[in-house]
């Protein structure tokens, strides 16, 4: 269908009388399915005639006078948005007047009432009685009213302790709905992705509907982050400050949020004498306290004194009126209703001390559980924290996030009933990528049911979902599937929200996918297919059929292969890649060069050439195979950060490449080599490019090298060794079979040696890794191990190269290359 | 003139005709090349026939590491010593199997000396060096081979295995039962569950199958023939069960050079016809000096 014809139909829909069958006037399958009411009885409203406006926008000018945050001024913002939309679409300047003025009707003809005012009161509208963020649109003989549940005019709706994301902008939401529904405006992305249909006539038929969001938390930091001048991408056109968050109705009407809190480094500074109490000390005497960065810290959740100490600080926070913020230092502080507790991403396989052993806090059946090894430890702690909070701050609620190896509900009876002041945000690493995998759905439904029972038959309020990292094919399709989760989880999922972790920044090239997802968060009944079909037509004209087919093929591949656990190379064989490339090429041929459609297509197409190249590389790829030379017995290698010894010169080079399959050779080559002796594996990396080597920074933010070793060919486990250019190192181990366990970050490789030399334009790292230190037998001659080696260059320009094509998941053993331990004289 | 007499005459004329055998590296299609890390292909030929040896390093797959295989690809692909996906021999030195080694381009060298042409493969078993050679003689249709311990390391033990599928592999034959027979100078040995230790004095075997004898059954081929220097082996063992594949294993004397030869043909022979041919062309099917590079560390005696 041609775009203009579609636009005409859109507006014709608005002109329809509503008497044709069951479809109400204003209904559009591509928009939110609002709650239509019987339309009032009055003549059609000829708002615009021959390009002239016959109305004014009327608001209560005095309202929102105490609201300082612009994004909470729902009524005033709504009026501005409406005026702008009429200006863009009809070229008219519509006045905004005070609803209290006398004689408005005589002066302006019709009125569009925005927000609660004396005029909406006169119509007996009760917008503040709507659910949070809801709105009502109702026509009347003298115009149309758009009024919503606005926190800006509800006394005490906003508390100084509340996050700015907490905003109740019903009227603003209503205005956006109105201009989409009756003016045909569409907000897909800033600039060329925003459609303002031009027209000279607008007649509104009688209409009445309400709407409000299903989920309270619909927000992503990444969207706003992407719209700053610094992160603006050229495909969006010249930089312009934009309020896309409000256009996509992002925000939250719940104060519940979840994250890592308090901030470990800051909390430690407040209690320098309590560091031993706050942080976990492992049996190898390592204290999980890292002053340099967030990760590396681990609160001792086996120690209930930590809970008491936190509540002490919470009491101080509330007693100070929110001015005592040192333990949080701006990082997810408490708010007027919720207290947040969560651990940072320092993954420990297990916790082991006298308390854990004495209370048997890790049940035998959970000892090797990747999702539940620590569930009972955490539940014990969470209960203690909630009870302490209830005793001392009874009006506050506790938000916690079952996550990683405590994502499963506890097993022990005494920790299986949470106090009623606890709300959960459960992290589902499988979603949305596995939403169309019935087994994964059934698994998570059962887990949520168990949490529901732990909560005393209250639902899990929120979910934390993850985008597909480094996977263009997945990122193009999976977000929209979020619409299916509420139906799948049923009564076990509350309406607190689904936080979508972008996992890699906001990629506007997949705007349509995220557009559909946030719409679905507003209302899971949103018709994703209808919305996307309309979008292809509106945005791409003659190229639409090709892009629709392109998208459909991606969805089909995901649904039938990837969602069920199939590998990328199985989902996207060369025939599929050829077809996708052909469709994209046909789309490009169908648009007029330099046209707006061509510019839109440029954004849409942006990630695909690289994605195709990498996917082809993956299909054609064979696992790398490296031959490790044996060092003659007479030589005792010196670990000095230099590759001068003859055995290094004779060792073959180990190639590092784009781990996603790209064919371009690295811009910063690495001369990597391995060698071995009866007792150790040796490695040397001669790297070009001056490294980022800041001792004040953490290992993983400096230039570093990571080595993953999986002894043998069974892939039962792997060791990870990371060393940065300052000499900081990290060592870990993970068991993968028969049951995957979390990474054990406690391990220390006895006899491990490293040496670094930094030159003007590069650095060299030399390592000795004793087999005994890994607690494995020395490899038999001519046996093989599975290995990955990564160089993370973080100095500018950054570069990420690897031995194995692991698609960015460095520990993806299945994709590891092999090394073979050669014999004497080989 | 009988068919065998014609063949014998042809062999004789071929050996008398001018032109020495040739050995050269070739590039031929490799089955499932995506699984191959490295390969060298060598064709050996004389006027009486040709053999192609594919030396192939297969990529790691599943939970097995990279393996080295030697396929005998010509004159047949599926029968006798030729199997499309299996090495036709295995060599273990000091307990290390040839398949785990990683020969490289420089490990191979083709040569032509006098009336012989062949290829040498220099192998290193964790310091114990061995030369594995294949060649053709001007006067013989046999593929000759030799295992020569080299200086510079200690060969404590060495074992050579040869694998053969005489007369073919017919679907469903296992249920009917194979009738493998190894014919030798002293008589014959029928298949059985017990492995047979070769008695002293046996230095060749004609490997046949009575049920699958060409002329009796459609699509069969064979027999095949193996000849060896029994004096350089401490023991020989034939495992010839009711199975498509049989294995002939020699425990080698590590101080000696072990020479052997295999023969197969793409042309079907009735068992009796081949025995007649063998009788009539005894010299062509017998070991004689096989030239190799390098000095054998052992006796140096050539068969």
Q: State the average pLDDT over residues A547-567.
A: 97
Q: Other C-beta atoms within 10 Å of A797: how many?
A: 8
Residue in A with minimal Cα distance to B68: A782
Task: Kindly report the average pLDDT of chain B as a whole number.
Answer: 88
For the purposes of burial, counting CB atoms within 10 Å of the CB of A16, is it exposed (0-12), middle (13-18) or buried (19 or more)? middle
Q: State the average pLDDT over residues A642-652.
A: 94
Please write the tens of the pLDDT for every residue from B235-252.
999 999 998 899 999 999
Q: What is the pLDDT, as a whole number, of residue B302?
A: 30
Torsion sign across C-alpha atoms A470, A473, A476, A482: negative
Dihedrals phi, psi of B118, to nearest 5 degrees: -165, -170
Q: What is the pLDDT, as a whole number, of residue B212?
A: 87
- Has residue A188 got a pLDDT over 60? yes
Least confident of A343-357, A665-679, A737-751, B280-294: B280-294
- Has residue B279 got a pLDDT over 80? yes
Q: How confident is the model at residue A368 (pLDDT cuts 50, 70, 90)?
A: confident
Please write the tens of the pLDDT for every residue from A680-699.
999 999 999 999 999 988 89
Nearest to B63 among A713, A823, A826 (CB): A713
List chain B residues with CB under 8 Å of A820: 65-66, 102
More confident residue, A282 or A378: A378
Residue in A with minimal Cα distance to B36: A622
Q: What is the pLDDT, as a whole number, of residue A178?
A: 98
Q: What is the pLDDT, as a whole number, of residue A553?
A: 98
Q: What is the pLDDT, as a whole number, of residue B300?
A: 30
Cβ-defined contact of A784 to B124 (cutoff 8 Å): no
Residue with tokens 């106090």: A419
Please write the tens of the pLDDT for every residue from B169-215.
777 776 788 899 999 999 999 999 999 999 998 999 999 998 888 88
Please write the tens of the pLDDT for every residue from A760-784.
899 999 999 999 999 999 999 999 9
- Has residue B301 got a pLDDT over 50? no
> How far A133 CA lies from chain B's nearest CA (Å)?
55
**Structure-token pair, residue A685:** 């990396």
- Give the single-character DSSP code of B64: B
- Has residue A7 got a pLDDT over 80? no
Q: What is the pLDDT, as a whole number, of residue B170?
A: 72
Q: How confident is the model at residue A515 (pLDDT cuts 50, 70, 90)?
A: very high
- Give the single-character DSSP code of B267: S
Q: What is the pLDDT, as a whole number, of residue B1?
A: 55
> How far A680 CA lies from chain B's nearest CA (Å)?
17
Cβ-defined contact of A826 to B102 (cutoff 8 Å): yes
Q: What is d(CA A732, CA A354) in angstroms, rounded to the nearest whole number? A: 23
Q: For an interface test with B, which of A716, A819, A823 has the most B Cβ atoms less than 10 Å from its Cβ? A: A823
Q: Cβ of B106 under 8 Å from any chain A Cβ?
A: no
- Give the single-character DSSP code of A131: S
Q: Cβ of B225 under 8 Å from any chain A Cβ?
A: no
> How far B262 CA lies from chain A's nearest CA (Å)?
29
Least confident of A58-62, A141-145, A634-638: A634-638
Q: What is d(CA A369, CA A445) in angstroms, rounded to the nearest whole number? A: 18
Nearest to B96 among A623, A781, A784 (CB): A781
Q: What is d(CA A380, CA A406) in angstroms, rounded to the nearest whole number? A: 12
Q: State the average pLDDT over residues A1-28.
A: 57
- Has residue B35 got a pLDDT over 80? yes
List chain B residues with CB under 8 Å of A823: 96, 124-127
Specify whether the CB–CB gap between A338 and A255 falls below 8 A: yes
List chain A residues with CB under 8 Å of B122: none
- Has residue A265 got a pLDDT over 80? yes
Q: What is the pLDDT, as a whole number, of residue A639?
A: 96
Q: State the average pLDDT over residues A560-576.
A: 96
**Structure-token pair, residue A352:** 């082991």
**Structure-token pair, residue B246:** 């049989």
Q: How far is residue A262 from each of residues A133, A166, A196, measured CA to CA in Å?
A: 30, 20, 45
Q: What is the pLDDT, as a whole number, of residue A12?
A: 45
Q: What is the pLDDT, as a whole number, of residue B150?
A: 94
Nearest to A376 by CA among A362, A358, A386, A357: A362
Q: Cβ of B30 under 8 Å from any chain A Cβ?
A: no
- Has residue B283 got a pLDDT over 80? yes
A-B Cβ pairs (cutoff 8 Å, strict): 55
Cβ-defined contact of B96 to A782 (cutoff 8 Å): yes
Q: For an interface test with A, which of B99, B103, B105, B126 has the most A Cβ atoms less than 10 Å from its Cβ? A: B126
Least confident of A5-14, A101-110, A807-816: A5-14
Q: Other C-beta atoms within 10 Å of B32: how many?
A: 9
> How far A627 CA lies from chain B's nearest CA (Å)?
8
Q: What is d(CA A765, CA A331) in angstroms, rounded to the nearest whole number? A: 36
Q: What is the pLDDT, as a whole number, of residue B177?
A: 86
Q: Give the largest CA-CA distance in chain B.
A: 58
Residue in A with minimal Cα distance to B34: A622
Q: What is the pLDDT, as a whole number, of residue A295?
A: 81
Q: Other C-beta atoms within 10 Å of A419: how many?
A: 17
Q: For an interface test with A, which of B36, B58, B65, B125 has the most A Cβ atoms less than 10 Å from its Cβ? A: B65
Question: Which residues, at least 6 apart from B78, have a Cβ–Cβ distance to it below 8 Å?
Answer: B84, B165, B168, B169
Q: What is the pLDDT, as a whole number, of residue A18?
A: 41
Specify whether the CB–CB gap between A173 and A34 falls below 8 A: no
Q: For an interface test with A, which of B60, B63, B152 has the most A Cβ atoms less than 10 Å from its Cβ? A: B60
- Has residue A375 got a pLDDT over 50? yes
Torsion sign across C-alpha atoms B131, B134, B137, B140: positive
Question: Mind giving me the DSSP string for A636-697?
Answer: ----SS---SHHHHHSPPB--B-TT---SPPSS-EEEEEEE-SSEEEEEEEEESPPP--TTS
Q: ipTM score of the complex?
A: 0.90
**3 state DSSP class of A414:** helix
Q: What is the pLDDT, as a whole number, of residue A675?
A: 98
Q: How far is residue A307 from each of residues A290, A344, A379, measured CA to CA in Å?
A: 20, 16, 12
Percentage of chain A beyond pLDDT 70 is: 97
Task: Kindly report the average pLDDT of chain A as a whole number.
Answer: 94
Q: What is the pLDDT, as a whole number, of residue B216?
A: 79
- Has residue A243 got a pLDDT over 90? no
For the purposes of burial, counting CB atoms within 10 Å of the CB of A358, is it exposed (0-12), middle (13-18) or buried (19 or more)? exposed
Q: State the average pLDDT over residues B98-111.
A: 96
Cβ-defined contact of B127 to A625 (cutoff 8 Å): no
Residue in B with minimal Cα distance to A713: B63
Show contacts of B122-125: CB within 8 Å, 24+ apart. B122/B150, B123/B91, B123/B93, B123/B98, B124/A823, B124/A825, B124/A826, B124/B153, B125/A823, B125/B93, B125/B94, B125/B96, B125/B101, B125/B153, B125/B155
- Has residue A377 got a pLDDT over 70? yes
Q: What is the pLDDT, as a whole number, of residue B295?
A: 41
């Amino acid at each position: 269908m041609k775009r203009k014809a579609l636009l005409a139909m859109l507006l014709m829909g608005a002109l329809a009388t509503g008497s044709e069958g069951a479809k109400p006037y204003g209904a559009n399958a591509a928009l939110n399915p609002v709650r239509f009411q019987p339309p009032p009885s009055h003549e059609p409203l000829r708002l615009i005639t021959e390009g002239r406006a016959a109305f004014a926008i009327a608001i209560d000018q005095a309202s929102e006078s105490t609201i300082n945050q612009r994004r909470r001024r729902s009524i005033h913002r709504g009026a501005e948005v409406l005026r702008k939309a009429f200006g863009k679409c009809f070229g008219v300047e519509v006045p905004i007047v005070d609803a209290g003025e006398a004689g408005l009707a005589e002066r302006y003809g019709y009125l569009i009432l925005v927000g609660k005012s004396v005029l909406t009161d006169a119509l007996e509208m009760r917008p503040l009685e709507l659910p949070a963020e809801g709105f009502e649109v109702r026509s009347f003989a003298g115009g149309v009213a758009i009024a919503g549940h606005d926190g800006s005019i509800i006394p005490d709706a906003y508390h100084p302790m509340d996050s700015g994301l907490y905003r109740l902008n019903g009227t603003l939401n209503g205005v956006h709905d109105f201009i989409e529904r009756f003016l045909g405006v569409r907000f897909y992305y800033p600039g060329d992705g925003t459609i303002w249909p031009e027209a000279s006539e607008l007649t509104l038929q009688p209409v009445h509907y309400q709407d409000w969001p299903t989920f309270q938390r619909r927000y992503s930091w990444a969207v706003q982050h992407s719209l700053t001048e610094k992160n603006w991408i050229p495909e969006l056109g010249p930089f312009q400050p934009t309020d896309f968050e409000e256009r996509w109705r992002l925000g939250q009407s719940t104060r519940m949020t979840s994250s890592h809190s308090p901030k470990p480094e800051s909390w430690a500074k407040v209690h320098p004498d309590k560091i031993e109490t706050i942080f976990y000390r492992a049996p190898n005497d390592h204290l999980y306290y890292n002053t340099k960065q967030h990760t590396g810290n681990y609160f001792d959740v086996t120690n209930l004194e930590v809970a008491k100490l936190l509540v002490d600080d919470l009491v101080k926070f509330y007693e100070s009126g929110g001015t005592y913020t040192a333990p949080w230092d701006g990082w997810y502080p408490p708010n007027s209703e919720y207290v947040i507790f969560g651990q940072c991403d320092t993954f420990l396989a297990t916790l082991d001390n006298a308390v854990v052993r004495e209370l048997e806090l890790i049940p035998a059946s959970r000892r090797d559980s990747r999702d539940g090894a620590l569930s009972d430890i955490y539940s014990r702690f969470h209960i203690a924290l909630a009870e302490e909070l209830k005793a001392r701050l009874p009006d506050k609620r506790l938000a916690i996030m079952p996550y990683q190896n405590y994502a499963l509900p506890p097993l022990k009876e005494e920790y299986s009933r949470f106090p009623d002041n606890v709300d959960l945000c459960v992290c589902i690493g499988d979603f949305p990528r596995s939403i169309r995998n019935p087994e994964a759905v059934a698994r998570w439904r059962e887990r949520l049911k168990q949490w529901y029972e732990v909560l005393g038959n209250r639902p899990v309020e929120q979910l934390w979902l993850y985008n597909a990292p480094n996977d263009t094919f997945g990122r193009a399709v999976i977000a929209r599937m979020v619409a299916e989760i509420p139906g799948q989880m049923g009564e076990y999922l509350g309406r607190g929200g689904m936080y979508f972790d972008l996992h890699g920044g906001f990629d506007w090239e997949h705007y349509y996918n995220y557009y559909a997802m946030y719409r679905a968060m507003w209302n899971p009944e949103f018709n994703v297919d209808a919305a996307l079909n309309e979008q292809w037509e509106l945005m791409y004209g003659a190229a639409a059929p090709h892009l629709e087919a392109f998208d459909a093929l991606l969805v089909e591949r995901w649904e039938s292969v990837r969602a069920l656990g199939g590998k990328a190379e199985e989902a996207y064989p060369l025939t599929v890649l050829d077809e996708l490339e052909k469709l994209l090429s046909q789309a490009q041929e169908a648009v007029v060069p330099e046209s707006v459609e061509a510019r839109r297509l440029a954004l849409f197409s942006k990630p695909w050439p690289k994605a195709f190249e990498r996917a082809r590389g993956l299909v054609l790829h064979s696992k790398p195979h490296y031959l490790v030379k044996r060092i003659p017995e007479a030589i005792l290698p010196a670990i000095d950060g230099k590759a001068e010894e003859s055995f290094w010169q004779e060792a073959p080079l180990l190639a590092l490449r784009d781990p996603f399959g790209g064919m371009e050779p690295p811009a910063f080559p690495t001369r990597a080599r391995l060698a071995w002796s009866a007792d150790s594996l040796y490695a040397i990396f001669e790297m070009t490019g001056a490294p980022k080597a800041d001792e004040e920074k953490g290992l993983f933010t400096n230039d570093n090298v990571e080595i993953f070793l999986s002894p043998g060919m069974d892939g039962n486990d792997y060791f990870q060794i990371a060393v940065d250019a300052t000499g900081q190192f990290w060592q870990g181990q993970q068991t993968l079979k028969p049951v995957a366990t979390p990474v054990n970050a406690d391990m220390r490789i006895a006899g491990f040696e490293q040496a670094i030399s930094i030159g003007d334009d590069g650095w060299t790292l030399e390592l000795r890794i004793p087999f005994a230190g890994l607690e494995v037998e020395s490899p038999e001659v001519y046996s093989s191990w599975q290995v990955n080696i990564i160089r993370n260059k973080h100095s500018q320009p950054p570069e990420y190269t690897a031995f194995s094509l692991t698609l960015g998941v460095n520990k993806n053993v299945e994709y590891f290359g092999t090394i073979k331990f050669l014999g004497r004289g080989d | 003139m009988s068919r065998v007499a014609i063949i014998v005459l042809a062999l004789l004329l071929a050996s008398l005709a001018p032109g020495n055998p040739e050995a050269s590296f070739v590039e031929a299609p490799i089955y499932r090349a995506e699984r191959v890390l490295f390969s060298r292909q060598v064709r050996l030929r004389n006027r009486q026939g040709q053999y192609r040896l594919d030396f192939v390093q297969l990529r790691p797959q599943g939970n097995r590491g990279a393996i080295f295989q030697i396929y005998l690809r010509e004159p047949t692909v599926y029968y006798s010593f030729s199997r499309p996906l299996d090495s036709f021999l295995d060599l273990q030195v000091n307990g290390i199997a040839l398949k785990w080694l990683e020969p490289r381009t420089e490990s191979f060298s083709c040569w032509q000396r006098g009336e012989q042409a062949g290829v040498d493969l220099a192998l290193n078993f964790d310091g114990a060096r061995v030369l594995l050679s294949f060649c053709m003689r001007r006067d013989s249709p046999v593929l000759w081979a030799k295992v020569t311990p080299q200086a510079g390391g200690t060969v404590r033990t060495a074992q050579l295995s040869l694998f053969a599928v005489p007369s073919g592999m017919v679907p469903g034959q296992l249920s009917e039962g194979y009738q493998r027979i190894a014919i030798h100078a002293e008589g014959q040995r029928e298949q059985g569950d017990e492995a047979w230790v070769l008695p002293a004095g046996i230095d060749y075997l004609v490997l046949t199958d009575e049920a699958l004898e060409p002329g009796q059954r459609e699509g069969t081929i064979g027999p095949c023939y193996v000849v060896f220097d029994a004096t350089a082996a401490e023991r020989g063992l034939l495992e010839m069960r009711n199975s498509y594949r049989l294995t002939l294993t020699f425990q080698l004397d590590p101080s000696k050079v072990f020479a052997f030869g295999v023969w197969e043909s793409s042309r079907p022979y009735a068992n009796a016809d081949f025995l007649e041919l063998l009788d009539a062309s005894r010299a062509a099917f017998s070991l004689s000096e096989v030239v190799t590079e390098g000095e054998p560390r052992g006796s140096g005696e050539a068969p």
